[in-house]
Chain A
Amino acid sequence: MTQEFPEPGYYGEYIKLLTAHQPVLRGLILAMLPGNQDVDDILQNTNLILWEKRKKYNWAMDFKPWACTFARNKVREYRRKNVSHACVYVDDEFLDAVAQANQDHSSDDFRRKREALSLCMSRLKPREKDMMDTFYETKESMEFRMNQFAMSAASLRVTMHRIRKKLRLCIETRLAWEGNLT
Chain B
Amino acid sequence: MKAYQLEAMIQDLVDGCITQEDFDELSGKLKSNPEAMSLYLEYVDIANIATLDAQEKSHFTPVVPIQQVIRRQEQRSLKIAVLAAAAVLLMALTVMRLFFVDVSNPAMLSVGFSSGAEFTISHDSFREKEVPEGMVLEPGSRLVLSYGTAELTFRSGVKATVIAPADLTLHGENKLFLSQGNAWFSVPPEAVGFQVKSHDLDIVDLGTEFGVLADPNDHDEVHVIKGRVRVSAKRVRKESRVLSANEACRADPVGRLITIPSHWPKVLPTTNRWPVTKTKEWYAKLPWLIGCTYIPSNAVNQLEMWQADTWSPQLIDRELQLAEDTEFNMIRVYLHDLAFKQDPEGFLERMDQFLALAKNHDLKVIFVIFDDSWLDQPRAGKQPAPLPGVHNSGWLQSPGFTALERYTEDVALRDRLKKYVTSVLNRFKDDERVLIWDLYNQPGQRPHYRDDIHGANKRSSKRSAFEPLLYDAYVWARSVSPSQPLTSMIWHPEFGTEAALDWADVSSFLDNSGSSGISSWLERLKGHKRPIFSTECIARPGATFDGCLTLLRRNKVATVSWGLVAGKTNTIYPWGSWNGQANASEPKVWLQDLYRQDGSPYDAHEIDLIRNHVLLSQSQRQYLITPATTSPAEWLYSMVAPSENWNQMAYDDSSWKNGLGGFGAEGAPRAHIGTFWSGDETSIWLRKKFIFDEGLSGKLFMEIYHDDSAVVYLNGVQIYQANDYQTEYKLVDLSRYQHLLKSGDNLLSIRCDDDLYGQYIDVGLGLMKEENKTNQ
Binding site for B on A (CB under 8 A): 15, 18-19, 22-23, 26-27, 30-31, 34-38, 40-41, 43-45, 47-49, 51, 77-78, 80-85, 87-91, 93-94, 97-98, 101-102, 105, 110, 113-114, 117-118, 132-133, 135-137, 141-143, 151-155, 157-162, 164-165, 167-168, 171-172
Contacts and interface: CB of A to CB of B under 8 A. Distances in A.
Contacts of B40: 31, 98
Nearest to B90: A84
Nearest to A141: B85
Contact of A27 (B17, B45, B670): B45
Contact of A158 (B17, B97, B668): B668
Given A85-B87, A93-B27, 10 more contacts: A15-B66, A27-B44, A30-B48, A51-B66, A98-B41, A133-B54, A137-B58, A154-B727, A154-B728, A155-B727
A145 to B, nearest CB: 11
B756 interface: yes
B67 A15 contact: yes
Given A81-B133, A154-B728, A94 B85 contact: no
A132 B46 CA distance: 10
Contacts, number: 191
Contacts of A118: 53
Contact of A93 (B31, B67, B756): B31
Given A47-B69, A48-B69, A81-B133, A34 B44 contact: yes
Contact of B99 (A84, A114, A167): A84
B16 A78 contact: no
B42 A171 contact: yes
B304 to A, nearest CB: 49
B38 interface: yes
B27 A94 contact: yes
Contacts of A158: 667-669, 727, 758
Interface residues of B, number: 70
A137 B18 contact: no
20 contacts: A19-B66, A26-B48, A37-B86, A49-B130, A51-B70, A81-B134, A84-B99, A87-B86, A88-B16, A88-B18, A89-B23, A90-B23, A90-B27, A97-B30, A98-B30, A101-B38, A136-B50, A136-B54, A151-B727, A168-B46
Contacts of A49: 130
B23 A44 contact: no
Contacts of A36: 16
B493 interface: no
A165 B7 contact: yes
B727 A82 contact: no
A157 B669 contact: yes
A133 B52 CA distance: 11
Contacts of A132: 50
A81 B135 CA distance: 9
B53 A34 contact: no
Contacts of B85: 141-143
A154 B20 CA distance: 18
Nearest to B51: A136
Contacts of A154: 669-670, 727-728
B245 interface: no
Contacts of A37: 84, 86
Nearest to B64: A44
Given A82-B134, A137-B57, A160 B669 contact: no
